[in-house]
């Protein structure tokens, strides 16, 4: 039996992943913007560059972010529709909180790449 995460990802597909994640981030943007710190944001974005490239077609551990800003306006247009159609559980399923956790405190987020020995 597939997990909820696997079923949600299969149903939505990779195209919707970005829209949903960006929508969740957009909904939280006013709070983040109100208390924003440019230098802290730059440091956080440098962490993204460890896995993502800004060059077209250069995919590393994560996908290229070259068209991130081109998709910005479309995602903003779709955000209210997606928020109305998609239950909160799907936001969790596509990894919004995992991405936030990895950015804020990567040592506390379990990684499928690191296998811990059972004691």
Give domain limits for the chain: 4-40+67-104
- Write phi, then psi, for 68 (nearest 5 degrees): -55, -45
pLDDT in tens, the chain (119 residues): 445 445 544 554 544 455 555 555 555 544 444 456 778 878 887 888 888 888 888 888 888 877 766 655 555 566 666 666 555 555 554 455 455 555 555 555 555 555 555 54
In whole angstroms, give the CA distance from residue 102 to residue 60: 17
Count of CB atoms situated within 10 Å of the CB of 40? 10
**C-alpha angle 7-110-65 in degrees, rounded to nearest 5:** 70
What distances in angstroms separate CA 26 from CA 18, 32, 47, one per listed residue?
A: 12, 10, 20
Ordered alpha helix ranges (H), 35-71: 38-48
The residue behind tokens 């070259």 is: 66
């Amino acid at each position: 039996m597939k997990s909820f995460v696997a079923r949600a990802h299969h149903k939505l597909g990779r195209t919707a992943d970005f829209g949903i994640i960006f929508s969740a981030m957009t909904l939280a943007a006013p709070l983040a913007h109100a208390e924003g710190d440019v230098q802290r944001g730059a440091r956080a974005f440098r962490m993204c560059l460890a896995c993502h490239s800004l060059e077209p077609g250069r995919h590393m551990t994560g996908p290229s972010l070259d068209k991130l800003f081109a998709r910005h306006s479309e995602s903003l247009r779709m955000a209210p529709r997606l928020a109305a159609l998609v239950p909160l559980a799907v936001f969790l399923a596509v990894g919004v909180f995992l991405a936030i956790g990895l950015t804020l405190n990567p040592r506390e987020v379990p990684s499928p790449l690191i296998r811990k020995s059972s004691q």
